[in-house]
A and B are shown apart, each in its own frame.
Chain A
């Protein structure tokens, strides 16, 4: 399926027009919100996964930490996706030809699928019933996949 026409349309859409024309709106509702939400998402991932690895907050049950962190993860993800669509619309054609944009989208897709299909269903309920090695593998994979999302995302800014 050829996606270029969609990206061309996105750049001429209302969102693309606003982002392209008004730098202030792009900087505030786009980049600032996106980066702050990325910080919240990164924080929630690190808090939950470092607790699962028994590195931090050992005096709090990992079930509670994972549950609380996941609530903020969902909020941050919603903000990241909406501000990301707005930002990408303004430079859609440039994004289409940028390898790191596609690397980020792939990592983001894997990250979201991993959280909602694998990690959350596994960690619901008592963590004492799960093999410790599996918990640690899942935590390391989670940190790596979200690190990759952040790193490839920043790389977009330094390429093309």
Chain B
């Protein structure tokens, strides 16, 4: 693969959308995980 200095518009859009998806997924699943921990703490102390 060749390394280019300038990204094309298609590459820029793909990078932004992919980055948004990755951050959203991390946020969503972290939120779910914290919710589960709080629930377990309430149930079992």
Contact = CB atoms under 8 A, between A and B. Distances in A.
B25 to A, nearest CB: 4
A128 B2 CA distance: 6
Interface size class of A (residues with CB under 8 A): 20 to 34
A141 B21 contact: yes
Contacts of B1: 127-128, 130, 132, 135
Interface string A143-159: 01101100000000000
A140 B18 contact: yes
A129 interface: yes
A148 B3 contact: no
Contacts of A129: 2
A141 B13 contact: no
Contacts of B22: 137, 140-141, 144
Contacts, number: 59
Interface stretch (A25-33, A37-45, A115-123): A115-123
Contacts of A144: 21-22, 25
A110 B14 contact: no
A114 interface: yes
B37 interface: no
A134 interface: yes
Interface in B1-44: 1-4, 7, 10-11, 13-15, 17-19, 21-22, 25, 28-29
A48 interface: no
Contacts of A132: 1, 3
Interface of A: 103, 110, 114, 118-119, 121-122, 127-135, 137-138, 140-142, 144-145, 147-148
6 contacts: A128-B2, A134-B15, A134-B18, A140-B18, A144-B21, A144-B25
Interface of B: 1-4, 7, 10-11, 13-15, 17-19, 21-22, 25, 28-29
